């Protein structure tokens, strides 16, 4: 038997052994490192497996896929006065709703009300974004499966538009182009567009029909007409279903008291007459300033067609239901009856129970004397007619919300919107 022994002075083998031009580390030294790597790899694999097996990982967001029997509507400007009321109606009608708003004029409080009313998953989502950011808008369209767009988002004060015309052309005309391009790129083929009677300017004949020439006299009306022209030009060579609704003067609020109008305090000077009346009735301002008493109207003040917001959103829903590929519908949305500013103020006094102080001033730039609609086309084609036509009652409902919300929807940190 041979006994191989190593003398004390025999050198130890080196820590690495050459083989085929390569060196391999001693496994005894590396065993701990390899074990740690294997453990990490095993844990990672388990995590991935668990994620894949979870419903959230495998199931995409309901907003990202089309679902039979469910209409997913993008509501731009859905945190605003009219947009929030439209979103409420769409949700009540079991539609899926995505609201996009930059909150420059809208209220996050309105979004919170809608979320509280419809908390179920897949019903409502809010995305904080600016429609002037084409990259952001394209991303929104790429991540969501929209069936239709209701485009409300816009600055909308005649007086302000005469002071800041470029802002109006950018916000209304340019932003509409961004939305339209995104719709075309992502195959969204139904558009309900929020337009205005301001596109008609100051017509020679009343009432205004859809054939009345559009000759706007202020940047607000001009910007809206430009947006309409862009939509109509694009629709000529596409299968897009287009409905353009030209509003008259909007008043009122949700009859159940969930939503109302809460404009920015700094915009009171430019706001709707109803807001000014309520501010005067609640003592926020000392009285009401009526601008213009020398118009060619029965009492010298402007005459307008006041449409309740509940009727207005009903017109949108009927337009959505009737929208057809390759077809364009253009409709006036009004009551067909004109009321003077003085009549309006008297109705507001009765609705609020406050003897509002009134101061009469010179005309406001960009205003027109008399505007009221002929709504027969929308009645005939969409079976829509205004139901809330009692001016005093519409103001009473809106005043009820105003009294219950002295600070509007309150102040909510913008960080919560993301």
43-49 contacts at long range (C-beta below 8 A, 24 or more positions apart): none
Q: Are 409 and 416 spatial neighbours (Cβ–Cβ below 8 Å)?
A: no
DSSP 119-170: -STTTEEEEE--TT-HHHHHHHHHHS--SEEEE------HHHHHH-HHHHII
- Integer Cα distance of 365 and 384 in angstroms: 34
Q: Cα separation of 286 and 270, whole Å?
A: 17
Cα–Cα distance, 193 to 151 (Å, whole number): 5
> Which residues are 76's β-sheet partners?
100, 151
143 prior amide bond cis, ω within 30: no
E strand residue ranges, 187-343: 190-196, 241-247, 249-251, 288-291, 303-304, 306-308, 328-333, 339-340
The CA distance from 360 to 362, in Å, is 7
Give the Cα separation of 279 and 273 in Å (integer): 10
For residue 220, indicate whether it is catalytic.
yes
Tokens in use for 343?
């009549």
Active-site option among 220, 247, 331, 388: 220
Just list the catalytic residues: 220
């Amino acid at each position: 038997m041979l006994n191989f022994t190593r003398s004390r002075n025999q050198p130890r083998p080196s820590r690495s052994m050459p083989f085929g031009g390569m060196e391999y580390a001693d496994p005894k030294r590396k065993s701990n490192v390899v074990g740690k790597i294997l453990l990490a790899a095993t844990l990672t694999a388990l995590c991935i497996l668990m994620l894949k097996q979870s419903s959230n990982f495998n199931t995409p967001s309901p907003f990202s896929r089309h679902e039979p029997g469910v209409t997913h509507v993008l509501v731009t400007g859905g945190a605003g006065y009219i947009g929030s009321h439209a979103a409420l109606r769409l949700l009540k009608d079991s539609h899926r709703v995505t609201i996009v708003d930059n909150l420059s004029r809208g209220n996050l409080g309105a979004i919170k009300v809608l979320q509280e009313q419809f908390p179920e998953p897949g019903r409502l989502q809010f995305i904080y974004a600016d429609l002037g950011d084409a990259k952001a808008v394209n991303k929104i369209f790429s991540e969501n499966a929209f069936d239709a767009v209701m485009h409300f988002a816009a600055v909308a004060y005649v007086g302000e538009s005469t002071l800041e015309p470029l802002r109006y052309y950018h916000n209304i005309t340019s932003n509409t182009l961004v939305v339209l391009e995104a719709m075309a790129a992502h195959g969204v083929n139904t558009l309900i567009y929020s337009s205005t009677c301001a596109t008609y300017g100051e017509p020679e004949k009343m009432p205004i029909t859809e054939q009345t020439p559009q000759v706007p006299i202020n940047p607000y009306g001009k910007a809206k007409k430009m947006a309409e022209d862009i939509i109509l030009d694009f629709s000529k060579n596409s299968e897009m279903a287009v409905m353009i609704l030209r509003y008259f003067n909007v008043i009122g609020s949700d009859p159940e008291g969930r939503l109302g109008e809460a404009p920015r305090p700094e915009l009171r000077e430019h706001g709707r007459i109803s807001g000014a009346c309520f501010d005067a009735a609640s003592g926020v301002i000392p009285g009401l300033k009526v601008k213009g008493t020398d118009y060619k109207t029965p009492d010298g003040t402007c005459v307008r067609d006041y449409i309740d917001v509940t009727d207005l959103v009903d017109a949108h829903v009927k337009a959505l239901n009737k929208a057809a590929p390759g077809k364009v519908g253009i409709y006036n949305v009004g009551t067909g009856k004109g009321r003077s500013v003085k009549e309006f103020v008297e109705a507001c006094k009765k609705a609020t129970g406050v003897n509002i102080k009134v101061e009469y001033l010179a005309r406001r730039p960009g205003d027109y004397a008399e505007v009221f609609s002929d709504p027969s086309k929308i009645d005939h084609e969409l079976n829509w007619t205004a139901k809330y036509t009692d001016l005093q009652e519409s103001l009473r409902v809106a005043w009820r919300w105003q009294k219950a919300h002295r600070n509007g929807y309150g102040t909510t940190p913008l960080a919560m919107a993301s």
